[in-house]
Chain A
Amino acid sequence: MSSYPGEHTNIPKHLAESLQYQPLNHLVPKTEISALLHSTFSWTVKVNNDVMETSPSLPLNESVSFQLSSPSNSAEDPLKFKRIKLQGMDKESSSTDIFEGLSALAKSMLPHTGTVNSDLVVANAIPHSQK
């Protein structure tokens, strides 16, 4: 063949030299798909709470005082709640009443002192050294 288009250019004439500029885009990664679907499963054993219906060892009218604000162990070992990052968590305030729908009894037991402290809602787990 006398001459052909591109003969006097540096356009690769060998497949090996062309392939360096051609990623193998037919190889589609799939590992993450299986990992993702697999990871969505959570499981536990169901606990049958029938025993709570009857209190054979207690007379039916027995009751005790329930002091919700009493610090049974709050001083030394307060509950530290999980801070979860959720979508749309940047709103300043909203008008929804979270406590709406609770029974009268439940509402009345809520602490007068307000809600849980912000600093008790933390992102990271308690380090092991703390007890």
Chain B
Amino acid sequence: MDDRKLQIGTLYALSHEYSDHAHKIAGSVSTEDEMRQYYTLISMSIKALQAIKEQFQLTAEQDVVVTVELSDLLIKETHNLDLAEMYLSSVRERLRETTLFHEKMLIEFFLFRVAKARDDSRYTREAIRNLTNLLEMLETTNSPWSDVFRFTYIQFCEREEKPGHVAAKYLEVLERTKVHKALHSFLLCRYVCFCLENWIEIRDDLLTELLAIENSEDLPIQLILWKQFVELLVLIFKDENITSKLSDFKTILSSHKKELLASHFELSVSPEIIITVESPILQYADVKNILLFLQSVSYLTNCYDKRTNFSTKFIPKVKKTTNELIKAPHSSSLSDQGSRCSFYERLLELCAFYESLEGLILHANCEEQSIPNKYKPLVDGMKYQLELDSQKALAKFSEISNFEKDPELELITLCNVFNIHLGTISAAGQNVSLDQYKIANDTWDRIQKIYQGYGFDQNHIWRCTITILWITSHFEPFTNVQLAKTDNEPYMDQLKWYYLGNRLSGGGSGDGNNEESNTVIDKSPPLKKSLLLHFLLNYLAGSMVVHDLQEKCQVSNTCFHMGKQQAMPLMRYLAGIWNLINCSLAMKGKDVAVTKAKLSSLVQKLLESGFTET
């Protein structure tokens, strides 16, 4: 038994030495023994602080410092949250008779950290109640601590309450925290992110405020970078062009490489109250990796085009870099190492998922890879569709049940499900059963409900898709059995609007060139390139909205060629038949002959892949 006489300063320094050393070597822990040695060090660090508390007469301020450090270790490294809470509560008692306001707030803050670590609904709700009371109490003091606790409050709400309520609370918190610019900016970023992932419309003025934050303002570069990421995410979620945003990144990265060696930054709420924020994505190497990843997602639907198939080129690179980053040395607690690891693993899973989508787009097939669980039924269902097995596809799609959590996934699934039901009733024709008809109708109602209940109509790809689905299911050339129309449906106008903005000029690839540049025509902005969408848009519009035969021939011819650039033989077939009709009417004998020949070989291929002669 060691029985040394040590001074308080030595003991305190010893505690830090043990935990600092442990955190330094945490990255290389790879055996059971090493893990035990790591925790031995942590145990020593904790015990040193406990000994200081037990055996020295500390001032209240010293007690606060030691207890907070002790609790922090307990929270980070152990499951002994009750012990941490006990230490903090007893210091709170000690402070009650004092006027040490800052210290009292610090203790409250760390008590909330314990509550957060418990990760349990009951504690979260209790924390929300306590925070509401605390904020009320602080109203009269005008203390900057209010804003710290507002931040804490909104974090707890995110865990427990419905997204709509949380968004409303964000608005309140943002309004109140305007005084503290850095914290406010950070909260603004969080608000926008929160809205994006819950498909809630971002309030216009707040988005404008985000965009207006200048790079030159007195904010940490990591915060500026995060703001840029959030803006990039907004563009990606809206399926808009990201080119100019990418050059913003280039500028920042080239001039601030040195500062980006640290992945944390500080937000000063007051000279006394400093918040440190950390994220693995803010380090230089990670920033570049995430950028490549986001570009891949944005360009994913372009993967058929050799000039812009960035996703095909970049995703393997992202996977490689991510695997390297997992192994990169990083000084932090073992549990933080674990969190970082699990972040990189999730990133890898997403890469695998996007590669699967690429495969389905290009080759109508993809390899088995480890993708996020929630997307597995989607990929499997899509595969079954391509294999002509509608029943199995429906079974898979019905597995996607956690709907409130991801309206985007639900909407995508429902659209595919709708197509299957529509195809079924169209094929049944006159023999369609009432049940089948009702199922198709009900599915459309569900689609409408989600589409209108969230911010999807801010995204042109979605608006155009919904328009296409409606037209397909309500008009005769496209379906044998139509769903009932009501008056004042805006879809025909929408179709025309999107067509005018995106029509395929002769032989081109949908760059939206408009010959009538002198007249102002009401047309949509160009849609992001995605072959299937542009095909469907032009196919439908060419049939319903275009009356000039020459133009019809151009569109059908182009659609027929498009059908070859990625795996969509059935679409190509439809375009071919349509082209035959148009070219026959237009007396274009050569085109008719060429199209007929190509169609014949297409039919052969289709017969080999599951279709039969009747």
| A105-B287 Cα distance, complex, nearest whole Å | 41
B423, A16: Cβ atoms closer than 8 Å: yes
Q: Hey, which chain A residues are within 8 Å of B39, CB to CB?
A: 81, 115-116, 120-121
Q: CB within 8 Å of B: which of A34-75?
A: 34-49, 51-53, 55-58, 60-70, 72
Knowing A82-B335, A98-B37, A109-B4 touch, does A30 contact B408 (C-beta < 8 A)?
yes
Question: Which of under 10, 10 to 19, 20 to 34, or 35 or more describes the interface residues of B?
Answer: 35 or more
Dominant SS at the A interface? loop
- Measured CB to CB, the nearest residue on chain A to B277 is A43
Instruction: Tell me the residues in window 76-104 of chain A with beta carbons closer than 8 Å to chain B beta carbons.
Output: 77, 79-89, 91-94, 96, 98-99, 101-103
Select one of B30, B197, B577 contacting A91, CB under 8 A: B30
- B576 contacts across to A, CB distance below 8 A: 5
Query: Are A6 and B573 in touch, CB under 8 angstroms?
Result: yes
Alpha-carbon distance A109/B58, docked complex (angstroms):
23
When chains A and B are docked, how far (Å) is the Cα of A128 from the Cα of B123?
Answer: 11
Instruction: Give the distance to chain B from A65, nearest Cβ to Cβ, in Å.
Output: 5
Contact A33 B573 (CB under 8 A): no
Asked if residues A57 and B426 are in contact (CB atoms below 8 Å), the reply is no
Given contacts A5-B600, A81-B42, 17 further A-B contacts (CB under 8 A): A9-B613, A22-B568, A25-B360, A28-B354, A31-B199, A36-B346, A37-B290, A40-B279, A63-B6, A64-B56, A66-B6, A77-B83, A82-B335, A84-B334, A102-B18, A106-B21, A128-B120
CB distance from A91 to the nearest CB of B (A): 5
CA distance A131 to B17 in the complex (A): 30
CB-CB < 8 A to B388: which residues of A? 21
Q: Using CB atoms and an 8 Å cutoff, list the residues of chain A in contact with chain B.
A: 1, 4-6, 8-49, 51-53, 55-58, 60-70, 72, 77, 79-89, 91-94, 96, 98-99, 101-103, 105-106, 108-111, 115-118, 120-122, 124-126, 128, 131
Which 8 residue pairs are nearest across A and B when measured between Cβ atoms? A20-B423, A16-B479, A26-B530, A23-B382, A84-B338, A16-B426, A34-B197, A5-B599
Question: Nearest Cβ distance between residue A99 and chain B, in whole angstroms?
Answer: 7
Q: Is A131's CB under 8 angstroms from B416's CB? A: no
B343 at the interface (CB under 8 A from A): yes
Q: Which one of A29, A38, A49, A64 lies within 8 Å of B193 (CB-CB)? A: A38
B14 within 8 A of A: yes
In the assembled complex, which residues on chain B have CB atoms less than 8 Å from the CB atom of A52? 8-9, 12, 62, 65-66
User: How far does the alpha carbon of A124 sit from the alpha carbon of B372 in the complex, in Å?
Assistant: 23
CB distance from A17 to the nearest CB of B (A): 5
B424 touching A5 by the CB < 8 A rule?
A: no
In B463-505, which residues have CB < 8 Å from any A CB? 465, 472-473, 477-480
Contact B31 A91 (CB under 8 A): yes
B279 / chain A contacts, CB cutoff of 8 Å: 40-42
Contacts of B415 in A (CB 8 A): 24, 27
Are B408 and A16 in touch, CB under 8 angstroms?
Answer: no
Contact pick for A22, options B6, B30, B196, B532, CB 8 Å? B532
Instruction: Give every chain A residue within 8 A of B424 (Cβ-Cβ).
Output: 20
Number of A-B contacts (CB under 8 A): 397
B276 pairs with A116, CB closer than 8 A: no
> B242 an interface residue at 8 Å Cβ cutoff?
no
Closest CB of chain B to A1's CB: distance in Å?
6
User: Chain A residues near B8 (CB, 8 Å)?
Assistant: 52, 55, 58, 62-63
Give the residue of B347, B419, B427, B477 whose beta carbon is less than 8 angstroms from that of A24.
Answer: B419
B603 at the interface (CB under 8 A from A): yes
Distance between B368 CB and nearest chain A CB, rounded to angstroms = 17
Contacts of A37 in B (CB 8 A): 193, 229, 233, 281, 290
A44–B517 Cα distance when bound, in Å, is 57
Q: How far is the CA of A129 from the CA of B335 in the complex (A)?
A: 24
1/0 per residue, CB under 8 A from A, across B258-279: the answer is 0000000010000011111111
Give the residues in chain A near B422, CB-CB below 8 Å: 16, 19-20
A82 touching B480 by the CB < 8 A rule? no
Instruction: Kindly state whether residue B350 has any CB partner on chain A within 8 Å.
Output: yes
Given the complex, which residues of A lie within 8 Å of B281, measured CB to CB? 37, 40
Q: Chain A residues with Cβ under 8 A from B426's Cβ?
A: 14, 16-17
Nearest A residue to B148, CB-CB: A45
Q: With A and B bound together, what is the CA distance between A126 and B59 in angstroms?
A: 33
Given known contacts A40-B280, A125-B81, A109 and B2 CB-to-CB distance under 8 angstroms: yes
Contact indicator B47/A5 (Cβ below 8 Å): no
* Residue of B33, B336, B423, B473 contacting most chain A CB atoms (<10 Å): B423
Which residue on chain A has the smallest CB distance to residue B278? Answer: A42
Judge whether B472 and A19 touch: CB under 8 Å: yes
Cβ-defined contact, A27 with B465, below 8 A: yes
Query: When chains A and B are docked, how far (Å) is the Cα of A114 from the Cα of B536?
Result: 70
Complex-state Cα separation, A51 to B596, whole angstroms: 88
A57 CA to B193 CA, complexed, in Å = 50
Asked if B29 CB lies within 8 Å of chain A CBs, one says: yes
Q: Which residues of A contact B390 (CB under 8 A)?
A: 20-21
B584 touches A1 (CB 8 A): yes
Which residues between 509 and 548 of chain B lie within 8 Å of chain A, taking CB atoms?
530-533, 536, 539-540
Q: Decide yes or no: A22 and B385 within 8 Å by CB, A9-B606, A38-B197, A40-B281 being known contacts.
A: yes
Given the complex, which residues of B lie within 8 Å of A67, measured CB to CB?
A: 1-3, 51
> Are the C-beta atoms of A35 and B614 separated by less than 8 Å?
no
**A120: chain B residues within 8 A (beta carbon):** 39
| 29 A-B contact pairs sorted by A residue (CB < 8 Å) | A5-B576, A6-B577, A6-B606, A13-B574, A15-B477, A22-B568, A23-B382, A24-B412, A25-B361, A27-B462, A29-B375, A30-B408, A31-B197, A43-B277, A52-B12, A64-B51, A65-B3, A67-B2, A68-B47, A68-B48, A77-B83, A79-B80, A81-B42, A89-B30, A89-B32, A91-B31, A92-B31, A102-B17, A108-B2
